[in-house]
Amino acid sequence: VTVRDALNQALDEELERDERVFLLGEEVAQYDGAYKISRGLWKKYGDNRIIDTPISEMGFTGIAVGAAMAGLRPICEFMTFNFSMQAIDQVINSASKTLYMSAGMVPVPIVFRGPNGASAGVGAQHSQCFAAWYGHCPGLKVVSPWSSEDAKGLLKASVRDDNPVVMLENELMYGVPFELSEEAQSKDFLVPIGKAKIERPGTHVTLVSHSRSVGHCLEAAAVLAKEGVECEVVNLRTIRPMDVESIEASVVKTNHLVTVEGGWPQFGVGAEICARIMEGPAFNYLDAPAVRLTGADVPMPYAKILEENCLPQVKDIIFAVKKTLNI
């Protein structure tokens, strides 16, 4: 099942389960979704549940947040998270802070979802990763699926969560097929928010990643395995609240840490992981400084060769692991 179909299933199941759930965004209804994530849903659920909006991010995001405050459970789609910048005030000031400011009186059960990060040749304004920006804010939950199981389970969990959740998908992952376990095919299958998953157990080094980079880590791990290096690949799944315990447990076992992400280096996900490791028990188990692999510290260029070199590639991960292990 591709990530796209897994998301589609999750949307269908949650729309069916709770009539207060609805989807709004640009092209989500009659166009079947800009990336076809909501294919067939408008035909099935109609105008009241699947709403096409004009190109008015700040307006429709505010409308979605208001609807959540008044008892509905909206899923607000951003065609890409780059456009969420138009509406970011509504996400942060209206959605994430309101429960706190009202001392618990006004919950905001909303999901903001859409593709995040780099795509292929879409240029600087359409390639930014927002994991660090949204991950910074208390009151929000931020999830970042990699596989179809992640996508389905996290979307369902996000819709059922009574808090504002930002779900950072990845356009390049939409078409990638994955095995969906028997369990994952059930209508009540949820992936818990706030828990990381060990995609591949290992003993020599911990690779922590989220979203598309998880795949690159697994590829690097396969290559390194041939040379006798066993990598433990941790799929964060959730950016906020971050499952630091799982990372720490892994580092205690492997004594080496490499983080991999697509976003920019400064103040990023990797930076946060390193800071947290230093504060906890795992620090004393590190045999080498923790290493971060990130997007290059530049706006994303267009030319293929430049774009490729702006993101951590499999060869970069292998190089970093060997450097850390001093081999």
Partner 1 sequence: MRKMLLAALSRVLQGPAAAARPGAVSEAARVVVATRNYADFASEATFDIKKCDVHRLEEGPPITAVLTREEGLHYYKTMQTIRRMELKSDQLYKQKIIRGFCHLYDGQEACCVGLEAAIKSTDHLITAYRAHGYAFTRGTSVREILAELTGRRGGCAKGKGGSMHMYAKNFYGGNGIVGAQVPLGAGIALACKFFGKDEICLTLYGDGAANQGQIFETYNMAALWKLPCIFICENNRYGMGTSVERAAASTDYYKRGDFIPGIRVDGMDILCVREATKFAAEHCRSGKGPILMELQTYRYHGHSMSDPGISYRTREEIQEVRSKSDPITLLKDRLVNNNLSNIEELKEIDVEVRKEIEEAAQFATTDPEPPLEELGNHIYKNEPPFEVRGPSQWIKYKSVG
Residues serving a catalytic function are 57, 126
Is there binding between residue 65 and partner 1 (CB under 8 A)? yes
Residue in 142, 140, 117 with CA at minimum distance from that of residue 238 = 142
Please give the Cα distance from 213 to 215 (Å, whole number).
5
Q: Which is nearer to partner 1, 193 or 207 (CB)?
A: 193
For partner 1, the binding residues in 258-317 under the rule CB under 8 A are 279
For partner 1, the binding residues in 169-228 under the rule CB under 8 A are none
Q: Which of 39, 40, 85, 107 binds partner 1 (CB under 8 A)?
A: 107
Q: Which of 70, 179, 226, 305 binds partner 1 (CB under 8 A)?
A: 70
Piece of the chain touching partner 1 by CB under 8 A; list 4-12, 95-103, 227-235, 287-295:
95-103
Q: Which is nearer to partner 1, 93 or 309 (CB)?
A: 93
Q: Which is nearer to partner 1, 99 or 225 (CB)?
A: 99
In the complex, the smallest distance separating the C-beta of residue 180 from partner 1, rounded to whole angstroms, is: 28
In the complex, the smallest distance separating the C-beta of residue 162 from partner 1, rounded to whole angstroms, is: 4
* Three-class secondary structure assignment of the chain: CEHHHHHHHHHHHHHHHCCCEEEEECCCCCCCCCCCCCCCHHHHHCCCCEEECCCCHHHHHHHHHHHHHCCCEEEEECCCHHHHHHHHHHHHHHHHCHHHHCCCCCCCCCEEEEECCCCCCCCHHHCCCCHHHHHCCCCCEEECCCCHHHHHHHHHHHHHCCCCEEEEECHHHCCCECCCCCHHHCCCCCCCCCCCEEEECCCCEEEEECCCHHHHHHHHHHHHHHCCCCEEEEECCEEECCCHHHHHHHHHHHCCEEEECCCCCCCCHHHHHHHHHHHCHHHHHCCCCCEEECCCCCCCCCCHHHHHCCCCCHHHHHHHHHHHHCC
Q: Which of 29, 68, 224, 269 binds partner 1 (CB under 8 A)?
A: 68
Q: Which is nearer to partner 1, 9 or 53 (CB)?
A: 53
Q: Which amino acid is at 228?
A: G
Q: Which of 2, 17, 27, 59 binds partner 1 (CB under 8 A)?
A: 59
Q: Which of 27, 69, 265, 285 binds partner 1 (CB under 8 A)?
A: 69
Piece of the chain touching partner 1 by CB under 8 A; list 2-10, 49-57, 284-292, 300-308:
49-57
Is the Cβ–Cβ distance between 62 and 72 less than 8 Å?
no
Q: Residues 51-84, buried b or exposed e (16+ Cβ, 10 A)? A: bbbeeebeebbbbbbbbbbeebbbbbbbbbbbbb
Q: Which of 35, 60, 133, 134 binds partner 1 (CB under 8 A)?
A: 60
Q: Which of 16, 30, 43, 102 binds partner 1 (CB under 8 A)?
A: 102
Please give the Cα distance from 183 to 290 (Å, whole number).
36
What are the structure tokens assigned to 203, written together? 């003993």
Is there binding between residue 245 and partner 1 (CB under 8 A)? no
Q: Which is nearer to partner 1, 70 or 303 (CB)?
A: 70
Q: Which is nearer to partner 1, 59 or 265 (CB)?
A: 59
In the complex, the smallest distance separating the C-beta of residue 58 from partner 1, rounded to whole angstroms, is: 4
Q: Which is nearer to partner 1, 160 or 216 (CB)?
A: 160
Piece of the chain touching partner 1 by CB under 8 A; list 87-95, 257-265, 296-304, 314-322:
87-95
Per this entry, what is the length of the chain? 327
- Binding footprint of partner 1, residue count (CB under 8 A): 44
x/- track of binding to partner 1 for residues 9-28 (CB under 8 A):
-----------x-x------
Residue numbers of the site for partner 1 (CB under 8 A)? 20, 22, 48, 51, 53-54, 56, 58-72, 89-90, 93-94, 98-107, 109, 138-139, 141, 162-163, 241, 279
